[in-house]
A = this chain, B = another copy of it.
């Protein structure tokens, strides 16, 4: 019998998705919950709320707190942290690569590596060279993966995922959704989402 499934919706520009992406594998295994990585784009969803950039840029006091808060969280979790420049970074290309990789067995490892590249090493994740280096480290042929990412079919898949996120009520990232059930928003809710997923399974 299949156990409970938790969908992990994320955008690569999302700051709090970094600790979530790094932590979710271990925590889900401990909880006995299956996780599906669901990359999508926050941009169209923010636009529908009237925002043309990150709310952390639109509200500077909130933004200042977010950077310090993220730094403290990472310190408490023992995660390296480096503020990316620029912020937010265009997440379209890495999201397309991640979608292409989900069907090929390397999408999850790629996604975690993109977060580490951006938030631990301060690398520019919108540059194809950064993504190619990450793919090489995973023993994935970079040119084939980037070509697959930019195919029309794959572009439509990412668009459909973003529409699905909006349909499910996703308004930020990270978001965790128990299949057919509860939505949880934020890295702070990862443990709770896993507990509730296990109860529902």
Interface residues, chain A, with chain B CB atoms under 8 Å away? 49, 59, 61-62, 64-65, 68-69, 72, 76, 169, 171-172, 182-185, 188-189, 192, 196
Contacts and interface: CB of A to CB of B under 8 A. Distances in A.
A172 B69 CA distance: 14
A150 to B, nearest CB: 31
Contact of A171 (B59, B171, B188): B59
A31 to B, nearest CB: 15
- Highest count of chain B CB atoms <10 Å: which of A61, A68, A188: A61
A190 to B, nearest CB: 12
B185 A65 contact: yes
Number of copies of this chain that the complex holds:
2
A192 B62 contact: no
Contact of A189 (B49, B69, B172, B184): B69
Contacts of A182: 68, 72
B169 A64 contact: yes
A61 B169 contact: yes
B49 A171 contact: no
Contact of A183 (B49, B65, B172, B183): B65
A48 to B, nearest CB: 9
Nearest to A76: B192
22 contacts: A49-B59, A49-B61, A59-B171, A61-B169, A61-B171, A62-B171, A62-B172, A64-B169, A65-B169, A65-B171, A65-B183, A65-B185, A68-B182, A68-B183, A69-B184, A69-B185, A69-B189, A72-B182, A72-B192, A72-B196, A76-B192, A188-B188
